[in-house]
Amino acid sequence: MAAVSPRLLALIPLAVGINLAMGKFAAATSLPLFLDTAGTVLVAALAGPAAALLTGVVSQTTFTVLDGRLMWLAFLPVQLGVALYASWAAWRGLFASVPRALLSGAGLGVLAATLSWPISLLLFGGVTAGGVTIVTTLLTALGVPLTWAVYGASLSADVLDKVVTFALVHAVLISLPGRMAARFPAAARALGRT
């Protein structure tokens, strides 16, 4: 921990702030999105996996503390999975174009749904409140077994959310002013420019 550079110490709280503030935009546009991993994905593209993992941990902890609902901490593996996948995507230059970003975002959506599925099923009996649970309830009422209803609901929500998240990070990376981009050499790689 002592090895964290002042740059990362400055970046991570702001990235967590981005994670937790983006929900305002989803609410303002009444879209069924969380966008609560946008900061984590951004840090992955700007500073690599270690910083992204740290952002994920701090983000999930802070969200839990500010929201007061302790159980969100159980979803920490999802943030960590997002951090690792996004770092890999950035390293492979998958933020280079909109189609690439959309496709790799969809991949992240499947990963995130697969990670959150056992957690919400085993720990919360499939009930995590909010829009996803309404879909789950509808699916179970239609006769879909609970196991698959939970997966179907998270899948539909997560794929949409992560596709938009990746598209947004692509948009941010290409509009990064040169002076700022120069501070984060990894950003050029994420855009496939090296």
Partner 1 sequence: MIVGYVAGKSPLHQAHPFTALALAATVVVLAFALPAPQGPAALAVALAALALLARLPRVLLTALGFSLPFWFFLGVIHGLIGETPLRALTVGAQITAMLTAFLLVLATVHPARLVDALLQRGVPFSLAYLLSATLQAVPRLRRQAADIVEAQRCRGLRVRGSVWRRTRAVVPLAIPLVLGALGEVDERAMALDARGAAAPAHRTALEPPPDSTAQRVVRWLLAAAAVGVIVWRVLA
CA dist., res. 119 & res. 122, Å (int): 6
Q: Examine residue 18 and tell whether it contacts partner 1 (CB under 8 A).
A: yes
CA distance 139 to 132: 11
**Residue whose CB is less far from partner 1, 94 or 176:** 176
Binding to partner 1 by residue 86, rule CB under 8 A? no
Separation CA 69–CA 105 (nearest Å):
28
CB of 14 to partner 1, least distance (A): 4
- The reply on whether position 182 binds partner 1 by CB under 8 A is no
Among 121, 126, 153, 157, contact with partner 1 (rule: CB under 8 A): 126
Largest CA distance in the chain: 56
- Tokens 């910083």 map to which residue? 51
Nearer to partner 1, 28 or 194 (CB): 28
Task: Work out whether 112 is an interface residue with partner 1 (CB under 8 A).
Answer: no
Whole-angstrom Cα distance, residue 107 to residue 98? 14
Does 99 bind partner 1 (CB under 8 A)? Our answer is: no
Distance from chain centroid for Cα 148: 22
First to last CA, the chain: 30
CB of 115 to partner 1, least distance (A): 20
Applying CB under 8 A, among 83, 100, 110, 133 the residue interacting with partner 1 is 133
Show the tokens assigned to 34.
């969380």
Q: Is residue 193 near partner 1 by the rule CB under 8 A?
A: no
Number of residues that bind partner 1 (CB under 8 A): 61
* Residue reference for tokens 């939970």: 150
The CA distance from 28 to 100, in Å, is 27
Binding residues for partner 1, per CB under 8 A?
A: 1-2, 4-7, 9-18, 20-22, 24-26, 28-31, 33, 35, 38, 42, 54, 58, 62, 64-71, 124-127, 129, 133, 136-137, 140-141, 146, 164, 168, 171-172, 175-177, 180, 183
